[in-house]
Amino acid sequence: MRFDILSLFPDFVAQIAGHGVVGRAGERGLLSIHGWNPRDWAEGNYRRVDDRPFGGGPGMVMLIEPLQATLAAMRAADPAPAHVIYLSPQGRPLTQARARELAALPRIALLCGRYEGVDERLLQAEVDEELSIGDYVLSGGELAAAVLIDAVARLQDGALNDAESAVQDSFEGDGLLDCPHYTRPVEHALGKVPAVLLSGNHAEIAHWRRQQSLGRTWLRRPDLLDEAALSKADRKLLEAFRAQWLAAVGEPPDGDA
């Protein structure tokens, strides 16, 4: 899969994406990342890429023309059609489900805004989708682009060493949070590993993990439980977790009825 980054700091995004799983996926030929700097396609001595907003107000807005020229150069370099994503806090939230859909595309172009934003006409004409990585404001789209690349790249077949690990992640499949994990030593000053994980009984381990997943989701992200398709067995596991938790703590977590 191919990523094209349109940014005033394309190397910054490519560098973050050059490490770990994403870097390895690149080495394995599963993806390539190409940077495009609109300043290289800006006109004039000053290579201007932004201007003041009409109507007044603070900050600068990125100009249409350097971005159009950059997109044209990006398309000329490879004729394969690109799905163009603009990263901004006004976009729809990036979810694991959307990351999985994006992972099936052959080519994604990521437009990173700086300053107050990008001229709306360019967005209307050129952008297929606007995505946000959360309800907070970053000073530019670059970190959001790196986040998206990471979330999508690790889903490429062959990117992860253990093919199982993507399926077990939080939000995968059933939309629940992941269960807790433990490794050696069994006993430590910080506590013991839960005995069930040492039992060798795979059915009981699966049962415990499912219950922890349900319980954590209830405690930390009850909104996800509304969307999750829970079986009768899940509801029983969650009920038991709740009862145990309430007996130990005495009151429900914030927001739980």
Which residues bind to ligand ADE, rule: CB under 6 A? Answer: 87-89, 132-134, 136-138, 141, 144
Nearer to ligand ADE, 36 or 218 (CB): 36
Nearer to ligand ADE, 59 or 134 (CB): 134
Could you give the angle at the alpha carbon of 22 between the alpha carbons of 18 and 24, nearest 5°? 85
Catalytic-residue membership of 51: no
Nearer to ligand ADE, 116 or 169 (CB): 116
Catalytic-residue membership of 4: no
- Distance between CA atoms of 199 and 86, rounded to whole angstroms? 49
3-class DSSP state of 138: coil
Catalytic-residue membership of 89: yes
- Distance between CA atoms of 26 and 117, rounded to whole angstroms? 30
Name the residue type at position 233: A
To ligand ADE, the closest distance from the beta carbon of 33 in angstroms equals 18
Nearer to ligand ADE, 31 or 87 (CB): 87
Q: Which of these is catalytic: 50, 114, 154, 234?
A: 154
To ligand ADE, the closest distance from the beta carbon of 141 in angstroms equals 4
DSSP assignment string, 172-225: SSS-PPPPP---S-SEETTEEPPGGGGS--HHHHHHHHHHHHHHHHHHH-HHHH
Catalytic-residue membership of 157: no
Q: Which of these is catalytic: 169, 172, 174, 178?
A: 169
Which residues have a catalytic role annotated?
89, 116, 154, 169
